[in-house]
Structure 1
Amino acid sequence: MLYVHHKTMVHGAESRMLRGGTGDKVLFLHGAGGMTGWLDYFDKLAHSYDVLAPEHPGFGKNERPEWIASVADLARYYTTFCASLGGIHLVGSSLGGWLASRLAMLMPEAIRSLTLIAPAGMRARAAGSGPGALPSRAERLRRYYFDQSFVERVFAQDPHDIQKIESGNLKTSELLGGPGFYDPTLELELGKLSCPTLVLWGEEDRVVSVELAKRWGDAIAGAEVHVFPRCGHLPHVEMADAAASLTEAFIERTTSMS
């Protein structure tokens, strides 16, 4: 599937975006590790949908405006980003799942469905457990995957300046997430969500415990929860075919009901 690189400008913040496919719009919000490129998950969804994968301000080589200093601020940024898109199907992974849930609360009329992939933000992480606490990139990547062969694949695709990029990504994500990398009001406020919601999780997640999958499902009325066996923190990478199929089937069901 062909995709193109776009430059976006919102409130003076320049960013890049990958986009491919045609059809209803699917907006993907990446996690704390940053945007890693056009994924197989996107490729499969792009056969049926117009897939947009922007890189957040402060990640990659993008500058972060000073007014974006929390997940709530970033959600407000995306309300402007999304203003001209019309109805969208929203997907968020980890930090991006936390962000997606906040964005869905801010503009419920625009969100046709919500898919959350191992979302962060509901529970404070243990001291010393954040990605910045691990001494090497290899150790950080190993925590993300159950199938460790994915780590070597990531290394093979690393750009030459990955250390600088990763350092910036970690610094921005730590700022946005706050001291405990969570929002103590989030769980209660998830009850405000009215859009159809799908929660995907890896059973072997070592970043955000799979024990939280049920809590997310319980907090959002009518949410569907699916847990992938033998899978880590990134089901849309490790289980790209299955995750894309579940996402597409969910979107089709929600579309037919609207």
Structure 2
Amino acid sequence: MPPPWPGAPEDVGGTTLHVRRTPGADGVPAVYVHGLGGSSTNWTDLAALLAPVAWGAALDLPGFGYSEPAPGFDFGLASHADVVVRYLEESPGPVHLLGNSMGGAICLLVAARRPELVRTLTLISPAMPDRRPDPRRLSDPRMAFAYLPLVGAPVRRRLAALGPRERAAQVIKLCFADPARFPDGRLDELAAEHGARAGLAWAAPALARSTFGIFRAWSAVGPASLWAVAPTVSTPTLVVWGNHDRVISVRRAERTARVIPHARLLVLPRTGHVAQMERPNVVARAVLGMWEQVDAGNW
């Protein structure tokens, strides 16, 4: 089990992002974009498995991991996508772009807007509109209320009372089909990251505002809807979903793969919302298979 890959701040068009780099083969790189409440460490195991074929860069989005958001950043999906586009513009040619959850929706927007920057697209349980009134889909249902007037202050106090390991375990319970599969060492790493972020004044507001940014995107209609954006993606795409995903229902999987013109679908049994963490070996084989078929012109 490799430790998290080393990371450092990098300037991305005037925005500073914390980026973890995975050494690997020369050629087309892989760029990894995490989901809501996640960070670049969500890709440690998958990046290690893909490194013999592609060196990697896993981004901490603004307000997540160790990337401090710029003043005035609005945390909408489109704004996150702007940052990823600026990063890819500085990459050596088109990349293999992989995104999970919120990161999947962001990568979808990137591929639609700038297809010349993306060689292949892998979407793992992307945050396609899912309006089920189920607060359990948040890593902590109280987060949606933490920054509302009047009720927000006591909610924030109760959240602050949770220890880092409790928060980490709560996230894994939500995102894994079988939380017992999450190694203790990885839980220690996640708890340490939660503890470090607890001292960052911008961390909790960034999570809350990004949460509402997703909800705003889900309420969009017409050309702004993610369901309208998806058919404009011309990039070869692999859609991966866990059939025990409690965050974004697997019922969105078939439609997502159907509306993206060059997409194929892989649904994994006994798997939750973060398949790249829960079943990295299976996901790696599927991603490598796509890359090989795209290179051969067979996708």
The 1-side partners of 2:40 and 2:29 are apart by 20
Deviation, 1:12, is: 2.9
Residue of structure 2 in register with 1:208 after alignment: 248
Q: Which runs of 5+ in 1 are unaligned?
A: none
The residue number in structure 1 matching 2:66 is 61
Larger mean Cα displacement after TM superposition, 156-165 or 238-247: 156-165
In the alignment, the residues of structure 1 paired with residue 182 and residue 74 of structure 2 have an alpha-carbon distance, to the nearest angstrom, of 31
Task: Find the partner of 1:77 among 74, 80, 83.
Answer: 83
Deviation, 1:13, is 2.1
One-letter amino acid of the counterpart of residue 74, structure 1: H
Unpaired runs of 5+ residues, structure 2, are 143-158, 160-165
Deviation at 1:33, TM superposition (A): 2.1
| One of 97, 101, 106 as aligned partner of 2:104 | 97
Give the secondary-structure state (helix, strand or coil) at the position aligned to 1:27: strand
Are 2:158 and 1:155 aligned? Answer: no
Report the AA paired with residue 41 of structure 1: L
TM-superposed deviation, 1:151: 4.9
Distance in 2, matches of 1:236 and 1:70, equals 24
DSSP-derived class of the 1:67 partner: coil
Q: Give the AA of the match of 1:251.
A: W
Aligned to 2:173: 142
State whether structure 2 residue 38 is matched by structure 1 residue 34. Answer: yes
Match of residue 119 from structure 1: 126
* 2:13–2:87 Cα contact (<8 Å) kept: no
Q: What's the CA shift for 1:221?
A: 1.2
Paired residues for 1:14-33 under 5 Å: 14-20=16-22, 21-23=24-26, 24-33=28-37
User: TM-score normalised to the size of structure 2?
Assistant: 0.78
Give the drift of 1:131.
2.6
What SS class does the counterpart of residue 266 from structure 2 fall into? strand
Partners of 1:79 and 1:122 in 2: CA distance: 22
Aligned counterparts of 2:210 and 2:181: Cα–Cα separation in 1: 23
Q: CA–CA distance in 2 between the matches of 1:147 and 1:8?
A: 36
Q: Percent identity?
A: 26
The 2-side partners of 1:93 and 1:34 are apart by 9
Distance between the aligned counterparts of 1:103 and 1:122, measured in 2?
17
How many Å apart are 1:15 and its aligned residue?
A: 1.6
* 1:12 paired residue among 7, 14, 20: 14
Q: Deviations over 1:24-57 (max 9, x none)?
A: 1111110012215251111000111011101111
Distance 2:114 2:181 in 1: 36
2:214 equivalent to 1:171: no
How far apart, in 2, do the equivalents of 1:99 and 1:125 lie? 21
Q: Check 1:241–1:151 CA distance in 2 against 1; reply closer, same or farther (3 A cut).
A: closer
**Following the alignment from structure 1 to structure 2, what is the Cα–Cα distance between the partners of residues 113 and 127?**
33
**Structure-1 separation of matches of 2:98 and 2:173:** 24
Match of 2:235 in 1: 195
| Cα drift, residue 124 of structure 1 | 2.6
SS at match of 2:127: coil
Of structures 1 and 2, the larger Rg is shown by 2
For the residues of structure 2 that align with 1:61 and 1:114, how far apart are their CA atoms?
25
Query: Which residue in 1 is equivalent to 2:141?
Result: 133
How many Å apart are 1:164 and its aligned residue? Answer: 4.9
Q: Is the 8 A contact 1:59 1:172 kept in 2?
A: no
Q: Which runs of 4+ in 1 moved over 6 A?
A: none
8 Å Cα contact 1:33-1:169 kept in structure 2: no
CA-CA distance at 1:255 after TM superposition: 1.9
The number of equivalent residue pairs is 258
State the alpha-carbon separation in 1 of the partners of residues 127 and 220 from structure 2.
Answer: 9
Tell whether the 8 Å contact from 1:131 to 1:140 is kept in structure 2 after alignment.
yes
Question: Could you tell me how far apart the structure 1 residues matched to 2:11 and 2:170 are?
Answer: 35
Per the normalisation by structure 1, the TM-score is 0.90
Report the aligned-residue RMSD: 2.4
Among 233, 239, 257, the alignment partner of 2:279 is 239
